Structure 1
């Protein structure tokens, strides 16, 4: 409690570790809440939770609540999962895919992710998981970063087509992207302008928390 109170004055780091995949990982009390950060950006809670909460609101909580199965690609500390369960009161199944087992250990220790009964965590590469799974989902959340870098495969047509094929009728994809320079701005514009599927609609929520842009893909049939 004392650390929580002092965190309104100055951030207090309570855990620091490294993994072969994520390099520097920190858990910090900031403004009265625990957040998970990489070396240069917020990984879970804090600004990231606000970003993905906005995306979920854009889709509509009333549409999310009756969904049967949600896929989260990139779990980190699990802030979007906590938003789904604690704020939206989502009761359906959640499958979370995270490549870094060290991050899941931290998520369980500091953010009590293991307490969520309707959550299944799978340690796997998101690309490999998407290729293997035969399950259809109502909502797919893509939130994959290596510090401030996004893997190139996320923007490739093959991956996009595969993820879209996993959506149920009238399902959604919520894709969190980071824009730090002109080339990344052009990358996103190219992704949106070249996305063409007759049974899907795509829209963006630009400049969320300054450097993020959310892409929402909706299956309309």
Structure 2
């Protein structure tokens, strides 16, 4: 494909649409790969896939491959789902939750998410979904952004407690955050300090791809 070859020289944008939540969504060929971007940041594939792949690798691909079910809060183009399926060979059930049906349509059109047999996409607000679900999960990935902004509810104690409640024994949360200011750094520090429970192990991987920090919560029993 000509666009793919040209993308090794300079990025080639092939699709753009307006988004109520993220201003714009773009699909671009970059160095021979399709990526999804919002107006100011990468949404799927590209640097975002590298960030979440690093977190999953930290947990251990072999360990993850043996898990039975995963919850992905914030699907966008589905790069973390592709990592689970294509690289980790995850065979369990994957539930992907995204509030924006348009972004899922774009992901299906350009990244073929609808061809993944063990994936169930739910169009819902993440906060509402975690309140309603009766399932328990071995892996929960939180990757919710509105361009470069993260909704405040993600850092509320009630939400994090509910997320931890949804974990199976030995389950893990992988929370991707963006730190653009000292205020963001303090926000993350406060979140980590709030999870003061011997039932969980919490750690962080700071400055992944410059502006991201991964927070990992492991349920010990």
Confirm or deny a common fold (TM above 0.5): yes
User: SS state of the match for residue 180, structure 1?
Assistant: coil
> Does residue 173 in structure 1 map to residue 179 in structure 2?
no
User: SS state of the match for residue 75, structure 1?
Assistant: coil
Alignment-derived partner of residue 154 in structure 1: 154
Residue ranges of structure 1 left out of the alignment (5+ in a row):
none
TM superposition score normalised by structure 1: 0.99
User: SS state of the match for residue 177, structure 1?
Assistant: strand
Alignment-derived partner of residue 99 in structure 1: 99
Alignment-derived partner of residue 54 in structure 1: 54
* 8 Å Cα contact 2:157-2:194 kept in structure 1: no
User: SS state of the match for residue 72, structure 2?
Assistant: strand
Alignment-derived partner of residue 213 in structure 1: 213
- Counterpart CA distance in 1 for 2:147 and 2:59 is 27
Deviation at 1:21, TM superposition (A): 2.4
Alignment of 1:47-196 (within 5 A): 47-196=47-196
TM superposition score normalised by structure 2: 0.99
Deviation at 1:22, TM superposition (A): 2.5
- Counterpart CA distance in 2 for 1:22 and 1:99 is 12
* 8 Å Cα contact 1:139-1:167 kept in structure 2: yes
* 8 Å Cα contact 1:97-1:125 kept in structure 2: yes
Q: Moved runs in structure 1, 4+ residues, more than 6 A? A: none
RMSD: 0.6
Cα deviation, 1:9-61, whole Å, max 9, x if unaligned, reads 11000000012223200000011100000000000000000000000001111
For these two proteins, the number of residue pairs brought into alignment is: 221
- Counterpart CA distance in 2 for 1:121 and 1:65 is 20
Residue ranges of structure 2 left out of the alignment (5+ in a row):
none
- Counterpart CA distance in 1 for 2:192 and 2:31 is 36
- Counterpart CA distance in 1 for 2:121 and 2:97 is 6
* 8 Å Cα contact 1:22-1:100 kept in structure 2: no
